[in-house]
Structure 1
Amino acid sequence: MNRYVVIDLETTGHSPTKDDRIIEVGIVILKKDKIVDQYSTLLNPHKKIPPFISNLTGISNEDVKDAPSFFEKAEEIIELFKESYLIAHNVPFDLGFLNTQLAINGFQQLKNPVLDTVELSRILFPQAPSYKLGQLAEYLGIYHDEPHRALSDAYVTGKVFLKLKEKLWALPGETIEHLIRLEKKLKSDLYPLLLERQKQLMYEEIVQKNIATYQGLAFKHIEVPQVEHGVEHVSFGDFLDSIYEENGALQNKLSSYEKRDGQREMSEMIFDAFQLQKHALIEAETGTGKSLAYLLPAVYEAVYSERKIVISTFTTQLQSQLLEEEIPLVRDIVNFPIQVALLKGKSHYLSLEKFNHELASPYEDNYDVVLTKAMLLIWITETETGDIEEIQLPTSGFHFFKKVSTESEGYIDPSSPWFSRSFYQKARKKAQLASIVITNHALLCTDIFNEYKLLPSYDKIIVDEAHHLEETASRHYGKKLDYISMQYILNQLGTTEETKFLGKFIEKYPYKQHHLSLEKWNATLSDAKYEIDELFRTLFQYVMAQNSKNKSLSDVGRIQYRFEDENEIPDKWKAIREMASRVSFYLKDLIHILTSIERDLLKEETFEKFDHDELKGNIDQLQSFIDRLAELFFNHHGEKYVKWMEIETHGAKNAVYLYSEPTDIADFLTNDFFTKKKSVILTSATLTMKQSFSFIQNRLGLPSDLVLTTKIKSPFSYKDQVKLMIPNDFPSIKYGKPDDFIYATCEAIMSLAEITNGRMLVLFTSYDMLRKSYYLLKEIMESDKYMVIAQGISSGSRARLKKNFQTFEQAILLGTSSFWEGVDIPGEDLSCLMIIRLPFQPPDHPIYEAKSEHLKNEGKNPFMELALPNAVIRFKQGFGRLIRSASDRGIVFVCDSRMITAKYGSYFRDSIPEVPITNDSTQKLMEQAKEWF
């Protein structure tokens, strides 16, 4: 069958069973890889088209008034699908809708073989940033002239299918064979196409460039580049002159280059710190161009001293920016070779050996796992890193990836053929050979506090986004335990009858020796699961029963409760500790059974390495649960550690998360990091409070005699680009009237949206307030004029919400926690930033409370030493969302009058760039805003 019919429908809504109807059909027909015909018709749905659909499609009630009904066109449409594949971008929707309408109108439903371009794009283009039709078309270089019109969408879907077919035809035979085995679980009827490609490969002698194969698996062949030496020496001053100054390399390479004095100042400061073997704190305000400013001295130092420089970032977004934008620019402007490597933890990298083993598994997988396997098969023929963050896996795909990541491998013998093919080992080798190693704070902290070193040896490091180092180090030193993780591991182990880990294991190794141990397994597993459930349910009830003492709300709406000895309620707490003890007891029993099986099987020659690794991995996982239970319930560190629980009030009655962290990480960092390294450069846009670095210095334990500090001013003209407005007539939130405050907030959002045409980012400090504001806004808006996107309510990741915000002409984005930083929305996409409250952590937040007590006991003022500096740094992060380039203009509207009325208000005002501040009635501020825009 070589005829493909592509269909796209526009409808009045998503549910054909709830009386939604088709308003437009677009069809294109493909033969011999060309579009040969098309068909399009509007249909009268005999009901009103919702305004949202009219806005989206441009189809109005007037347009369909005289159009034929579906019944009149049904036979014509059915005829087009004779003896052909049916293709759609999301087949379940289009075919489901069409078949429901056919059935309602008394026609036979279509039973054609289908090809779903969403599913096939996920498999064949696993690195695409999005699978929405418009964004996918853009990624594949396909022009889309009328999005959300049926014929145009069908035409683009047809073009996408041809690209998919072309990609399929370029795959190696080994990959095709694996896809044939997986195909029956896919939505798309791909078997005939795969078979056709397989036959073609039999007759063609195709040598595929850059593809290596081993044990039936095809993957990209990667060479680890050799290091080039021998660079003619120039002084650092001459080096910078040749780049930054007039007619320098930057001016020659970048047509838009404008010299920024602060950028060169920062480069010089870092070079001085390296030479003097001192640490440095550098606050570089927005627009400094700090990435380039620190890369140049890093590259110079690494190349001329032949010593490795490490660069650590907090977000993967910044890592990508360094690798994809900054490093290529640096390579372009310096005239010597630079080797740069990115190194992450083992859990990020795919193990080819484990993946190959899983592909051979005879057991049935669910759809998500099959889709994940298919995506990985294509991805390994393209990826040079094996880093899973390059692709977007389906939800349960992450559980599968855990099983096949390098972390699950156990020990690999360097003489094993897989060792030289390992993505992680290649990444480590590249890092050993590189002059610059880029990593993240999490791996850096693992390396700092571990005896086994993960990073290559280094003595100079640049820590970007350094305001996150303290929390990452604390988290690293702490412990975490939750119900879902524990039950997931026990469910994966399974009973002896299930086809989970143990069931498969004893089927493969049915030796008599361990039958005695196995008799106890099912009962012990059942008891362990029961006790875990009881423990977490009791913890949930325990937290709910507490009065407000020690309880607070997290910024994502979880109830938090701090605990330690719980002396005031000894009986209840004693019962909880006994439960935790019983859980540990059953987990030890499970470990005992697994280790006796391991002991028996080690005597057998047929015991496979994979199975031994998986068995050991499970034993280690159970042991880590025992260690964490001991730390959380039985070890007392006094005020040195804080322990707390978080519960989901709307979740299951056992959705409890337990945490333990040190209250002060400074001594650990001083002893294990700062005194061991020659030079640590800490940089961020937000390190100071009221121009002083003392807060961050104390929190990180930086010895002051060894630290250079400087603040680099922004080149932006904030005085002309920003207006800061603070209303003086908002209802006080203090005296028990939060609803009045929320109402005033929503009215101000609506008024500002009218002035700025949407384009607003609204930052909240509490998820609860965000939620209430969202629903109130939906209520008081007369129409769907503005698209309101809310974190935690609208579905999608932070990046997805930001993308959606930029897609809509008139949109308002409500965010909390992670939206205060790292969200870049340059230009006219963002004209107004609204900050609802000054970002103080609630005084009853467990970590803050414990740190406060610790400071009080040291005779210090917790508000001035902790609460205020943290809030100011957070505020500066939020403030920095608005102006991202020299041409940006906008308003920052702060609804919290404490910025003016409180004694500490000046700390906030003096910590941001100098901008005109207006404190007036809301009405007057709106008039001024209108005038200013």
Structure 2
Amino acid sequence: MMESQKYAIVDLETTGHSPASGDRMIQIAIVIMKDWCIEKTFTSFIHPGKPIPLFIQDLTNITDADVKDALPFEAHADYIYELLQDSIFVAHNTDFDLSFLQAEFQRAGLPKWFGKKIDTVELAKILFPTSLSYKLGDLAADLNIPLDNAHRADDDARACAHLLKKCWEELISLPLTTLEQLHKKSFRLKSNLSQLFFDALQTKRRSVIDTENIIYYNKIALQQPVARSKTNEKPLQYPMSKEEKIKLFTEKIPAFEERVQQFQMMDSIWESLNRKSEIAIEASTGIGKTIGYLFPALIYAIQNNRKICISTYTSHLLEQLLINEIPKMEEILGRQINVTLLKGKQNYVDIGTFEQLIKFEDLSYDETLTVLQVLVWLSKTKTGDVTELNVSGGGQLFIDKIRKSNEKSQTIDPHFDFYDRAIRESEEADLIVTNHSMILVDLVRKEPIFEKIDGWIIDEAHQFIQAAVNQDESIFTYTNWKYLFGQIGLATDNGIFTRFQKIALKKQRVPLQLFNQLEKKYIRVTNLFNKAMQELVHQMKNYTIQTKQDTKHTVFLSQIELDNGLMKSVSHAIQNWIDLAERIATTFKNDVEEIAPEHQLVLEQWEYWIREFKMKVAQWEELFLQGETDSTTWIEIDRRNVPGSIRVLKKPINITASIHQLFEPFRKSGAVIWTSGTLSVPNNERFIADQLGIDKNVPILSLQAPANYYAGAKAYIVTDMPDIQSVSQTDYIESVALAITRIVRTTNGRCFVLFTSQDMLRKTVELITESELLHDYMLFAQGVTNGSRMRLLKSFQKFSHSVLFGTNSFWEGVDVPGDGLSSVIIVRLPFSSPEEPTFKAKSSLIQQQGRNSFTELSLPEAILRFKQGFGRLIRSSHDKGVFIVLDRRIETKSYGVEFLRALPQISVNKLPLQDMVLEIEHWYNSNDKDRKQVGNNEK
């Protein structure tokens, strides 16, 4: 039998990142593991021969006193070198630990260590492709690995050893074919994972049983879908009286609290469904909105054997519905509910495209890593929803290639099509749960899938407006077009043109002159495109000379005079290229019974890029050649990067008509129910309803939680913040950073901070990070931390000591889960920037009609965001939280009172920062005592 592999799992703490700059080791830990058991541990402080920087002391809790009597690295060097012999070197980020150790060996006069290495960051990304974060502490929390003192070498090395073992267990649980593919593709990885994958493969081959519930699409392992059937259980009756409802709910939910407004909501929806009428319901936090609509909707659907569709804006609410609320309803109704989650086609993986793309040999590192992540994920996912994956920036481009789309012609067995699967499931469902964008796509989809719906419940209704804007927007980026050109290439490049020409000429299927013609057409396209971009930049420079000397420029397309003939000639040139490229593809396929698989692959790629060009030419015409009706188009450039930074955006100004068009057919045959926590603002009850195209005769029912629900909430206005007009931006940001830091430390994190400017957000976060004042908190910042909004939110949720920084755009359509959210800080009242192009265009339209854009647009929008901000804070009657406004305009401007009127009846305290912090601290401490006292009494 082969000798067991020895792993040396290493972690170092150092004074900094660069041994060349004089940084030294302060602690080392090595865990020796064999047969997945820890055999030996070596750990020691190391004297760095220099003081430990303060931020490193904060990070590691290792002080100068700890290393005072420690020996220098040279004293341990021989022993450490010996320990590593015949081992595979393992670390969580081997690039750092191994290179630092090699530098220390060199300094101690020892030869360079040679051997294989395994990076557990790389390994964990492959085996846990849906993890939110690949930091050691986060993975340890996810996988129940003990890690008491992160950033201490001994604890980190032990946790890393346990992580390696978990990865091995995960590996051998994978299907055999998945392991074979991982091994085959692992040679392009940065660390030596191929040996580990090979060992897992051998182990798996020796075991008799392969992974269960697996089906195969051309050797790609997928989860077997679970068949669902409708149950014929006893019919359900809707409890009409208050007493019947209370009896039903208290029987099933032990701690059920009767909420008058919730029952009122249920009855209104029940009536609307039966009458097939329309209603809008503003339901504040605290009345139990979700159960308020689910309960009548499900009874109606089951009773009438009809479908109800619930639509939300955020993925978070979709998940909340499926994971928390539906099981609760099954408990209450005493039966299984058939529910299907349906998302837009582009959210699902296209297994056929993926299977084709992985045959390519010339994948980059990022693409290879992503392929391995997807292979593992496919063997586990039940939905095929690619948003479950956490991939690198480079990997995201690969994910975009394997999304399903309307343009892809390839059809596969519906059994393996996740989107098709979701559609089929929806036919059997009582309840379809989807998102706003999916419904909006139905406007343009050829086969509407929502025709059999009896009732529509649009939750987060105020966000339907934003979803409609996103649906209709068009975005052109210079880099994206150049990437497309680069993929095609010339005969002298190694692009798809060269590869396709090579096989077509070799098989003598396409005359060379056609390829020569195509190449000329391609050169004409790129030349005209470059000329058009130069024209764009030239025109913008003419316009922006008079404007402020900022590096970033935004100009409305209507303000500049583009050469229309040049823009048309780009469009014609692309179309000519497409026509000939398609003709060549058809010529290649003609008279051939069977194309060799490797040639088929090149042909499919060729056709893929033709489809991409078709989409691009449609986008070009929409942006540059079609007039603006109910929309606005603008160009953005950054002077430091021209033409690379060119972006052209087109967004609708008014989407009332398209929303009206979407729901008009349904209004005749079923109920339409709009609901949200924020539908109105003081002095303007129909602000949202009008934008949604809801008829004036449709009632708006406003349901507010009782005052005692907000007993745990306090609002504060900080009175000694500087006036932004009277100090420099740097001074203002320092004051903001200080206030945020003190509040976060007082409330122990769980804090959301709202800015109106991305620039101010970034500078504030940088200042807080550099100062190390919140070094022991997880800081997540929009536009600074990598990841989508949902990923930032999920990450924020996971950590008790965390702060989330966002701007207005982040705030819109994001539901910050309220579990333990201690504070919401409003840095500036959430007005839209007057320079934001869509806002500017809307505002200008209102003014042209002789109306006041501040009172009709700017103020109500800001008040709605303000209300939503507060709505995140208190999610149950037991929640405690503080809502803090740092913007003095709420006190000094006449409109300030309207913001305060939008809040529930809670105490609003106006205090200087120091007094406020002391008061919050006292309040939190006394609440903690009260909670502990309640806990003791309950015991």
- 1:77 is aligned, of 74, 77, 80, to 80
SS at match of 1:892: strand
Please report the TM-score for the alignment, with normalisation by the length of structure 2: 0.89
Letter in 2 for 1:210: N
- 2:250 corresponds, among 248, 252, 266, to 248
Whichever residue aligns with residue 546 of structure 1, its letter is Y
Task: Give the equivalent residue in structure 2 for 1:665.
Answer: 655
Residue 758 (structure 2) pairs with residue 767 (structure 1): yes
2:572 counterpart of 1:585: yes
Question: Which residue in 2 is equivalent to 1:560?
Answer: 554
CA distance in 2, matches of 1:823, 1:16: 45
Give CA deviations for 1:663-720 in whole Å, capped at 9, x if unaligned: 2211222233145332222222111111753111111111122x23212223573664
Q: CA deviation at 1:544?
A: 4.9
Q: Which residue of 2 aligns with 1:515?
A: 512
Displacement of 1:127 in angstroms is: 2.6
Q: Which residue, out of 834, 845, 850, partners 1:843?
A: 834
**Deviation of the 1:637 alpha carbon:** 3.6
| 2:146 aligned counterpart, secondary structure | coil
Preserved CA contact (<8 Å) 1:273 1:280: yes
Pair 1:496-2:491 in alignment = yes
* 1:703 counterpart residue number: 695
Is 1:855 equivalent to 2:846 in the alignment?
yes
2-structure distance, mates of 1:310, 1:719: 32
Q: Provide the residue aligned with 1:155 in structure 2.
A: 158
Of 588-597 and 836-845, deviating more is 836-845
Q: CA deviation at 1:594?
A: 0.9
Alignment match, 1:173: 176
Q: Which whole-Å deviations, capped at 9, do the CAs of 1:525-570 have from their partners, x for residues lacking one?
A: 34433443443454345435435999999xxx96432232x3xx6x
Q: Which residue of 2 aligns with 1:274?
A: 273
1:619 is aligned to: 610
Corresponding residue of 1:212: 215
3-state SS, counterpart of residue 235 of structure 1: coil
SS at match of 1:311: strand
Query: Are 2:481 and 1:474 aligned?
Result: no
Which moved further from structure 2: 48-57 or 534-543? Answer: 534-543
Alignment of 1:81-96 (within 5 A): 81-96=84-99
Instruction: Give 1:63 deviation, angstroms.
Output: 0.8
The separation in 1 between residues aligned to 2:199 and 2:742, in whole angstroms, is 61
- Describe how 1:719-758 pairs up with structure 2 within 5 A: 720-727=711-718, 732-733=723-724, 741-742=732-733, 745-746=736-737, 748-749=739-740, 752=743, 756=747
CA 1:541–1:77 in structure 2 vs 1: closer, same or farther (change >3 Å)?
farther
| C-alpha displacement of 1:52 | 2.2
Deviations 1:723-775 (A, max 9, x none): 33335665544579666655654554466567556665432111233344445
Q: Secondary structure at the match of 1:396?
A: helix
Q: Work out the CA distance in 1 between the residues paired with 2:126 and 2:847.
A: 57
Offset of 1:272 from its aligned partner? 1.7
1:893 aligns with 2:891: no
Question: Contact (CA 8 Å) 2:238, 2:299: kept in 1 or not?
Answer: no
2:402: which partner in 1? 404
Q: Is the 8 A contact 1:28 1:39 kept in 2?
A: yes
SS at match of 2:621: helix
Please say if 1:50 is aligned against 2:53.
yes
2-side partners of 1:780 and 1:412: how far apart? 55
CA–CA distance in structure 1, aligned partners of residues 329 and 549 of structure 2: 48
Match of 1:114 among 110, 113, 117: 117
Distance across 1 between alignment mates of 2:112 and 2:476 = 51
CA distance 1:48–1:351, change in 2 (3 Å) = same
Structure 2: how far apart are the matches of 1:793 and 1:377?
30
Matched position secondary structure for 1:288:
coil
Distance 2:217 2:622 in 1: 45
Q: Distance in 2 between matches of 1:792 and 1:914?
A: 35
User: Does 1:681 find its partner at 2:673?
Assistant: yes
CA distance 1:213–1:633, shift in 2 (3 Å) = closer
Match 1:830 to one of 818, 822, 826:
822
Which digits, 9 at most, give the CA deviation of each residue in 1:207-228, with x for residues without a partner?
A: 4310122432222221332222
Q: What amino acid maps onto 2:187 in structure 1?
A: K
CA distance in 2, matches of 1:10, 1:792: 30
2:130 to 124, 127, 136: 127
Change (3 A) 1:332 1:548: farther
Check the 8 A contact 2:710/2:877 in 1, yes or no: no
CA deviation after TM superposition for structure 1 residue 73, in Å: 0.6
- Would the aligned equivalents of 2:346 and 2:404 in 1 still touch at CA under 8 Å? yes
SS of 1:410 mapped into structure 2: coil
Change (3 A) 1:393 1:776: closer
Tell me if the contact between 1:840 and 1:871 (Cα under 8 Å) persists in the aligned partners: yes
- Tell me the amino acid that sits aligned with residue 308 of structure 1: K
CA offset digits 1:162-208 (Å, max 9, x no partner): 22222222332222221222021123323334334444455543243
- Deviations 1:54-112 (CA, angstroms, capped at 9, x unpaired): 22222111111111111111110111122222222222222121112112222122222
Percent identity reads: 31
1:790/1:813 contact within 8 Å kept: yes
* Between 389-398 and 516-525, the greater mean CA deviation after superposition: 516-525
Determine the C-alpha separation between the residues in 2 that align with 1:818 and 1:250.
40
> Residue 838 of structure 1 contacts residue 875 of structure 1 at CA under 8 Å; is this kept in 2?
yes
Distance 2:206 2:515 in 1: 53
User: Which residue of structure 1 aligns with residue 226 of structure 2?
Assistant: 223
In the alignment, residue 61 of structure 1 is paired with which amino acid? D
* Match 1:642 to one of 594, 617, 632: 632
**One-letter identity of the residue aligned with 1:662:** P
Deviates more, 1:739-748 or 1:369-378: 739-748
Measure, in 2, the Cα distance between the counterparts of 1:552 and 1:329: 58
Alpha-carbon distance in 1 for matches of 2:481, 2:618? 13
- Partner in structure 2 of residue 872 of structure 1: 863
The count of residues paired between Structure 1 and Structure 2 equals 912
Alpha-carbon distance between aligned partners in 2 of 1:127 and 1:354, rounded to the nearest angstrom? 21
Alignment of 1:369-448 (within 5 A): 369-407=367-405, 410-413=408-411, 418-448=413-443
- When the two structures are superposed, what TM-score results if normalisation uses the length of structure 1? 0.90
Deviations 1:131-156 (A, max 9, x none): 22222122222222332222222222
Q: Within 2, Cα distance between the matches of 1:366 and 1:95?
A: 24
Deviation at 1:446, TM superposition (A): 0.6
Return closer, same or farther for 1:449/1:264 CA change in 2, 3 Å cut-off: farther
Conserved? CA contact 2:168–2:200, under 8 Å: no
Between the aligned partners of 2:399 and 2:384, the Cα distance in structure 1 is 12
* Letter of the 1:643 counterpart: T
Partners of 1:848 and 1:176 lie apart in 2 by 52
Letter in 2 for 1:315: T
Distance 1:820 1:783, change over 3 A: closer
Structural mapping, 1:355-370, within 5 Å: 355-361=354-360, 363-370=361-368
CA RMSD after TM alignment: 3.3
Q: Aligned to 2:439, what secondary structure does the other structure show?
A: helix
Q: 1:698 to 1:449 in 2, by over 3 A?
A: farther
1:891 maps to a residue whose letter is: V
Q: Distance in 2 between matches of 1:714 and 1:634?
A: 52
Deviation at 1:339, TM superposition (A): 0.8
Moved more, 324-333 or 764-773: 764-773
Structure 2 unaligned segments of length 5 or more: list them. 925-939
**Any conservation in 2 of the 1:551–1:561 contact (CA below 8 Å)?**
no
Residue type matched to 1:410 in 2?
K
Stretch of structure 1 that moved more, 818-827 or 462-471: 818-827
Distance 1:550 1:708 in 2: 47
CA 1:488–1:780: 2 relative to 1, 3 Å: closer
- In structure 1, the residue matched to 2:935 is none
Gaps of 5+ in 1: none
